[in-house]
Amino acid sequence: MLQPTTSQLERARALLAQAAGDSANTQVAVGVIQLLMTAKRVGPGQHEQATVSAMLSKLALQGPMRSADLSHFLQLDPSTVSRHINSLVDGEFVAKTTDDRDRRVQWIQITDAGRARLHTRMNERITQIEKVTDGWSDVDRALFSALLSRFITDFDRTIDEADHEAEQA
């Protein structure tokens, strides 16, 4: 599959901005789209690796979860999540345990090998980010980090609120 080049991404960004207007929010929306398009250029299998990393991160942060909860968190079809879980079980990165109270429920938990894999992937990402921000000042990196964290937190909150409103309807 051919990945878009930087010049193609710039043209797409210009077209999107032209179609949607030139407000700061439009620029953020276009930037997010461009970031997603750029991330796809990293190489084949990166989406799958990102999904696996997201699963391992969620399990490391939250502890054991049901497959359905991971599916909801990742916004992926349960069969896709199940396939990833089975692959992670085969690699001994996660373990399945049966709930003591309800034998039909299986809990997925990260293993030490899964934590090590997550640590390795995080270090790889940090190395990529260090290359990207090499010419940035410490102040620019700190500001970008703070604003990106704030954006993600607020974006996640609005999604949670929308989900809650949909459940109430």
Residue 7's pLDDT band (cuts 50, 70, 90): confident
> pLDDT (tens digit, 9 = 90+) per residue, 118-157?
999 889 889 988 999 999 999 999 999 999 999 989 988 9
Residue 1's pLDDT band (cuts 50, 70, 90): very low
pTM: 0.70
Q: Which sign does the torsion angle of CA 19, 24, 27, 31 carry? A: negative
Q: Which residue has the higher pLDDT, 100 or 37?
A: 100
Question: φ, ψ for residue 52 (rounded to 5)?
Answer: -65, -45
Q: What is the CATH number of domain 46-116?
A: 1.10.10.10
Task: Determine the Cα–Cα distance for residues 107 and 100; give it in Å rounded to an integer.
Answer: 10
Q: Where are the domains of the chain?
A: 1-44, 46-116
Residue type for position 32: V
The average confidence (pLDDT) of the chain is 84
Place of tokens 């390795």: 120
What H or E segment, with its residue span, contains residue 95?
strand 94-98
Residue 4's pLDDT band (cuts 50, 70, 90): low
